[in-house]
């Protein structure tokens, strides 16, 4: 019921999103959206691409006098610093682990400037929509969505899920609330960048105050929709809910989340289910993790082929993140917020408030 459609290409005139299903009467201006876009934009630190984009958003429709109308909301962000010339040398070359070949195979035509729709710049629209969804969730239920970089390469963070805050996440350039781990992550990313290489890792995300009852029992399970939303992100190659793959190392008696009564509320003593059981939220924190591969564009020479099938050596140019993880944090939050908002509206339509 909360539907989004992003549009635009990396080196086109603008990118943006249209949002349908947002309830009327929600206080909403560009000031509600811009802080989230500022967290996603390039050029934030030496760990990200130096592409100089202000990423200033414009609400084109769906609001009047600072409130939503219940009609489609269109949000636009203009591209200001596209440098297409950096891609001209490999306009007919298939870059390893990019979407060049697959887009060509599907459409028989592709834009080589910055990757077009396959560029992570497409996620601007997702983050803008996530800011709207976040307001709906916060005002209706006090839902709080927080993500952080949990691992870069083989550097793991130790994070207390009960106390982690956005302030702690935003305290350093890598967006890891574990200060000691953050320092090691930054060292690893800088070393990879200096060596012309890149790194991947894991973003973990939790949502607090999600009421029990959101989700569907079969095909549109809450965790299934979260997984699809996260797997739709550029460079995401894996998703876990709750204990994820580590849960497979446990027995049933070790893994089961035992129920108890906390006053008048049913609670679980552990949360290995990640806040979702049978596809429906159980009132505990919703916990997911998304694995991102190393950035595909690197400065090291790589062997590949061109559109004629000839072997070539590619050395990429342009401005790219040596690690997508720090900028992926607000994107993961946005997709989790969009899915939760959608399931809130579905639940309200099916079962009442």
- The sign of the dihedral angle between the CA atoms of 91, 95, 98, 101 is positive
The CATH code for residues 3-351 is: 3.60.150.10
Round to the nearest angstrom and report the end-to-end CA distance of the chain.
Answer: 15
Q: Hey, which residues does 145 pair with through a beta bridge?
A: 207
- Residue 53's pLDDT band (cuts 50, 70, 90): confident
Q: What is the mean pLDDT of residues 232-255?
A: 97
Pairing of strands 14-20, 276-277: unpaired
Please tell me the least confidently modeled range out of 42-51, 117-126, 327-336.
Answer: 42-51
Give 351's contacts (C-beta < 8 A, 6+ positions apart). 213
Mean of per-residue pLDDT scores for the chain: 93
> What confidence score (pLDDT) does residue 33 get?
98
Give the whole-number percent of the chain exceeding pLDDT 90. Answer: 81
> What confidence score (pLDDT) does residue 139 get?
95
Alpha carbon distance 325, 329 (integer Å): 7
Q: What is the mean pLDDT of residues 266-294?
A: 98
Separation in Å, CA 115 to CA 27, 69, 172: 35, 35, 29
pTM of the model: 0.95
| Phi–psi pair at 286, nearest 5 degrees | -80, 125
Helix axis angle for 30-40 and 123-141, nearest 10°, is 130
Q: Hey, which residues does 236 pair with through a beta bridge?
A: 292
> What confidence score (pLDDT) does residue 26 get?
98
What is the distance of C-alpha 297 from the center of its chain?
A: 19
| Phi–psi pair at 68, nearest 5 degrees | -70, 150
> What confidence score (pLDDT) does residue 83 get?
64
With 70 as the cut, is the pLDDT of residue 320 above it? yes
- Domain positions in the chain are 3-351
> What confidence score (pLDDT) does residue 317 get?
67
Q: What is the mean pLDDT of residues 304-310?
A: 93
Alpha carbon distance 143, 147 (integer Å): 13
Q: What is the mean pLDDT of residues 335-340?
A: 98
Q: What is the mean pLDDT of residues 240-267?
A: 97
- Residue 318's pLDDT band (cuts 50, 70, 90): low
With 90 as the cut, is the pLDDT of residue 14 above it? yes
**Which 8-state DSSP code applies to residue 120?**
G
Note the pLDDT tens digit of each residue in 111-133: 877 777 888 999 999 999 999 99
- Residue 85's pLDDT band (cuts 50, 70, 90): low
How long is the chain? 353
């Amino acid at each position: 019921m909360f539907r989004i459609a992003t549009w635009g290409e990396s080196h086109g005139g603008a990118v943006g999103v249209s949002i349908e299903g947002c309830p009327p009467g929600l206080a909403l201006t560009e000031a509600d959206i811009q802080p989230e876009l500022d967290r996603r934009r390039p050029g934030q630190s030496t760990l990200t691409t130096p592409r100089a984009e202000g990423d200033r958003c414009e609400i084109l429709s769906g609001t009047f006098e600072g409130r939503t109308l219940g009609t489609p909301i269109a949000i636009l962000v203009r591209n200001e610093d596209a440098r297409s010339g950096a891609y001209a040398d490999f306009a007919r070359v298939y870059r390893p682990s990019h979407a060049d070949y697959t887009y060509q195979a599907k459409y028989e035509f592709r834009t080589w400037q910055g990757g077009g729709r396959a560029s992570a710049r497409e996620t601007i629209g997702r983050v803008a929509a996530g800011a709207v969804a976040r307001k709906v969730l916060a005002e209706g239920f006090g839902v709080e969505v927080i993500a952080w970089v949990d691992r870069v390469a083989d550097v793991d963070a130790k994070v207390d899920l009960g106390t982690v805050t956005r302030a702690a996440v935003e305290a350093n350039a890598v967006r890891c609330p574990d200060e000691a781990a953050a320092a090691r992550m930054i060292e690893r990313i800088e070393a990879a960048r200096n060596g012309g290489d890149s790194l991947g890792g894991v973003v973990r995300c939790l949502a607090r105050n999600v009421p029990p009852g959101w989700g569907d029992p079969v095909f549109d399970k809450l965790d299934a929709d979260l997984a699809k939303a996260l797997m739709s992100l550029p460079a995401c190659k894996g998703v876990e809910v709750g204990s994820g793959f580590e849960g497979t190392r446990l027995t049933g008696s070790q893994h089961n989340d035992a129920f108890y009564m906390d006053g008048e509320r049913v609670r679980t003593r552990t949360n290995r289910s990640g806040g979702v059981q049978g596809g429906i939220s159980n009132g505990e924190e919703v916990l997911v993790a998304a694995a991102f591969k190393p950035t595909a564009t690197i400065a090291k020479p790589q062997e590949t082929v061109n559109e004629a099938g000839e072997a070539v050596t590619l050395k990429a140019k342009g401005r790219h993140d040596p690690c997508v993880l720090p900028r992926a944090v607000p994107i993961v939050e946005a997709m989790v917020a969009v899915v939760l908002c959608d399931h809130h509206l579905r639940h309200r339509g099916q079962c009442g408030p």
